Structure 1
Amino acid sequence: MRVVIVGASGNAGTALLRRLRAEPDLDLAGISRREPTPAGPYADVSWFVADIGAEDAADSLTRIFRGADAVVNLAWQIQPSHDQRRLYRTNVLGSRAVFRAALDAGVPTLVHASSVAAYAPGPKRGFVKESWLRTGIPESSYSRHKALVERVLDEIESDHPTLRVVRMRPGLIFQRDAGSEITRLLAGPLLRAGRIPLVPRTAGLRIQAVHADDVADAYLRVLRTDVRGAFNIAAGPVLDADVIGRAFHGVPLPVPGLLLEGAAALTWQLRLQPIDRGWVRLARKAPLMSCDRAASQLDWRPRTDAISAMRELLTGLARPSS
């Protein structure tokens, strides 16, 4: 089976390569903006350099995709957050180019990395299924783009019913060797100490996370079956101020939601940190997800709990791998 992974050198891509390289019958190809050093998880992979947001991206990707049994699209750009046109170019137009190329190349299976961010605001004490409304959180460009790309996939599924389309919707993805999209979204100077001294206790600030290796295992199960549709992917426990405070020796600090958002907006505008107001609103409003469908149809269950995954990330920030 030939599998082409777009965005293969990122956080989720690195974990997916680690998992898929253990499968002897898989022929792997990776696509990234810059070719990584062919070592570790990047070894024994056919690499192609491509900018999926370029005007001719669909044509070049079509040539790479020919003969593939599956394309896994993990490509997504989070920074520079001050350049929304650049993010739209890569995330929305680039994803559309990947989908078009998969169709033009006759690829039978397309697996796309969506997110909990695609969902409309939802409950923080209950759990939503994959059928929850997908309009995103308007204040978050990341969320809007995720929701928009899913609408593109809706049209593709409707127009091309023979194409098997699978959407993976994970929570935050953690691992020791997390890519830049994770480290840039966290307060690095605070986390590199291996602890979180202050944890904001803000209404609605309850999120889900999952270890990258568990996400990779879910992708493999998708590739090995004929399932279609969407799958929520997350591990317990739900992360909030009290859970994080106990685990990482931090003190929960009550902070009104509007104050936290305002502080994020001001410091982002001053370029003191990379998290704009939309990320805080997304964390406060995104629903908690039920993973029952992944358990029943993929026989998937996380091996690593969310606290352990977060602890591994903090360890990696404190003692980076060489």
Structure 2
Amino acid sequence: MKVLITGASGNLGRAVLGRLRDDRISVRATSRRPPAGSDVEWVVSDLATGDGLTEAVTGVDAVLHLASAPRRRQTYQVDVLGTRRLVVAAGTAGVRHIVYISIVGVDRVPIPYYRHKLAAEQVIAAGPVPWSVLRATQFPQFLDDMLTASARLGPVIGDRAVLAQPVDPREVAARLAARLVAGPLGGVEELGGPQVLRFDEAARAWRAARGSRRPLLPVRIPGRLGRELRAGGLATEALPRGVRTWADHLADTYGGTGRK
């Protein structure tokens, strides 16, 4: 089997590359800016324009579609229209399976980026290529970055009742690799981390691991967004779950246990 990985230069992409190579699966990686000096086969392509997509999908059996643009003005162009371009090119090339990485909560939490991810899921489901969608919960690095940003003015600011379920990207990579081997699901599966944490619990562990005394300043998120986040819109009850905890991430990152 030969697999094309879009967005292979991102955090998840690097984890997936390593996992597939460990499993001795032949890979081709694509990015707008491939890294120099890599021994992986890279193809330059751009989902926003379609440039290079035909070359990228030619001769591969499956596509792992990880590329996204969450912080760019081109989110719709990349995540929705770009996914459509990729699916059409893959269908023409005779690709037998496309696996798309999405996010737990895209169908519940009213965030504009999530609407685009849900629309991309629908594009894949309506396309000519047999498909699978894996929705994962947030990566611990995302929660870490959010806490860092919220503390820039001094206290850690956030809605303490918001629920999160961080999952290690290496475990997501392993599930994606397993799905490739198992073949098209024709549906959506979910993967979450081992623990559902309140924001204040996660923040306390983060402060302990960093040796920080910053206070927590609770700010309630209003409206439907806040209600969904507090009700567990970013969490899943799906089994099996990942095993690496938030405390494991904090220990790896800061050397503290995060258990105070």
Work out whether the TM-score is over 0.5. yes
Q: Which residue of 182, 185, 192 corresponds with 1:234?
A: 192
What CA deviation, in whole Å up to 9, does each residue of 1:18-63 have, x standing for no partner? 2112122x2111100101133xxxx331001111110x44xx3123
SS state at 2:167 partner? strand
Residues of 1 paired with 2:150 and 2:160: CA distance?
A: 19
Moved over 6 A (4+): none
Partner of 1:105: 93
- Amino acid paired to 1:172: Q
- Amino acid paired to 2:3: V
Residues 247 and 164 of structure 1: CA distance in aligned 2, closer, same or farther (over 3 Å) = same
Partner of 1:271: none
Q: Which residue of 59, 63, 67 corresponds with 1:75?
A: 67
Residues of 1 paired with 2:114 and 2:197: CA distance?
A: 20
SS state at 2:194 partner? strand
What CA deviation, in whole Å up to 9, does each residue of 1:273-297 have, x standing for no partner? xxxxx7x7874562421222xx3xx
In the alignment of these two chains, the number of paired residues is 246
Partner of 2:118: 147
Partner of 1:87: 75
Q: Which residue of 236, 242, 254 corresponds with 2:218?
A: 254
Partner of 1:50: 45
Residues of 2 paired with 1:34 and 1:209: CA distance?
A: 29
- Amino acid paired to 2:68: W
Deviation at 1:308?
2.1
Q: Which moved more, 1:69-78 or 1:303-312?
A: 303-312
SS state at 1:29 partner? strand
Residues of 1 paired with 2:197 and 2:143: CA distance?
A: 18
TM-score normalised by structure 1 residue count: 0.67
Partner of 1:264: none
Partner of 2:237: 290
Partner of 1:244: 202
TM-score normalised by structure 2 residue count: 0.82
Identity %: 29
Q: Which residue of 115, 122, 126 corresponds with 2:103?
A: 115
The Cα RMSD (Å) is: 3.0
Are the aligned partners of 1:199 and 1:244 in contact in 2 as well (CA < 8 Å)? Answer: no
Partner of 1:215: 172
Residues of 2 paired with 1:90 and 1:314: CA distance?
A: 34
Residues 189 and 257 of structure 1: CA distance in aligned 2, closer, same or farther (over 3 Å) = closer
**Which residues in structure 2 correspond to 1:165-314 (within 5 Å)?**
165-174=131-140, 182=142, 186=146, 188=148, 198=156, 200-203=158-161, 205-228=162-185, 229-248=187-206, 249=208, 251-258=215-222, 283-284=229-230, 286-292=233-239, 295=240, 301-309=241-249, 312=252
SS state at 1:145 partner? helix
Residues of 1 paired with 2:89 and 2:112: CA distance?
A: 25
Partner of 2:13: 13
- Amino acid paired to 1:309: H
Which consecutive unaligned segments of at least 5 residues does structure 1 have? Answer: 122-136, 176-181, 262-277, 296-300, 316-322
Residues of 1 paired with 2:248 and 2:144: CA distance?
A: 20
- Amino acid paired to 2:146: L
